[in-house]
Amino acid sequence: MIERVRAVLVTPDDTLLVLRRTRPGIPVYWVLPGGGVEPTDESREAALHREIHEEIAGRADIVRLLHTTETAGERHLFYLARVTTWSFADRTGPEFSAEGRGKYALDEIPLTPEGLDAINLKPEEIARLLRQALTTGTLA
């Protein structure tokens, strides 16, 4: 089974870092930083640290596993993390130069239900979970 890790990256200002995806013929949407767990990764958390470094040249402290989803042949693990540094200009991920992948931009949004409502965060299941956790005060 393929495993993918993603980070709910909370900044020191209690905002959320998300990647805005712009692809031809598809409405704009946002995703959480992350990607596939590779055989060379020592753990899922190590994979997440590698992905955060590749995608936003960032460093983060992983707080906890928030949610897991499974689809046909894939498991997605979503972690809550506190990002301490980042520089989108210094990203190194191979997807940024891959032909036909569209554009990536780093956005910082308010970590509130209204902030989440203002973007089309994918997958919808994690967007719903985050809205609920923010409304009930159970995210932290």
As a whole number of angstroms, the distance between CA 129 and CA 138 comes to 10
pLDDT of 129 reads 96
The answer to whether 54 and 33 have CB atoms below 8 angstroms apart is no
pLDDT digits over 42-54, tens only?
999 999 999 999 9
H/E stretch holding 51 reads helix 44-56
What is the per-residue pLDDT across 46-76, written as a single tens digit (0 to 9) for each?
999 999 999 999 999 999 999 999 988 999 9
Q: What is the CATH number of domain 2-136?
A: 3.90.79.10
Q: What is the pLDDT of residue 89?
A: 86
Do residues 87 and 55 make contact, with C-beta atoms less than 8 angstroms apart?
Answer: no
pLDDT tens-digit readout, 84-128 = 999 988 888 666 555 567 889 999 999 999 999 999 999 999 999
All structural domains of the chain with their residue ranges: 2-136
Q: What does pTM read for this prediction? A: 0.92
Alpha carbon distance 111, 91 (integer Å): 23
3-state secondary structure 62-122: EEEEEEEEEECCEEEEEEEEEEEECCHHHCCCHHHCCCCCCEEEEEEEECCHHHHHCCCEC
Average pLDDT of span 4-21: 97
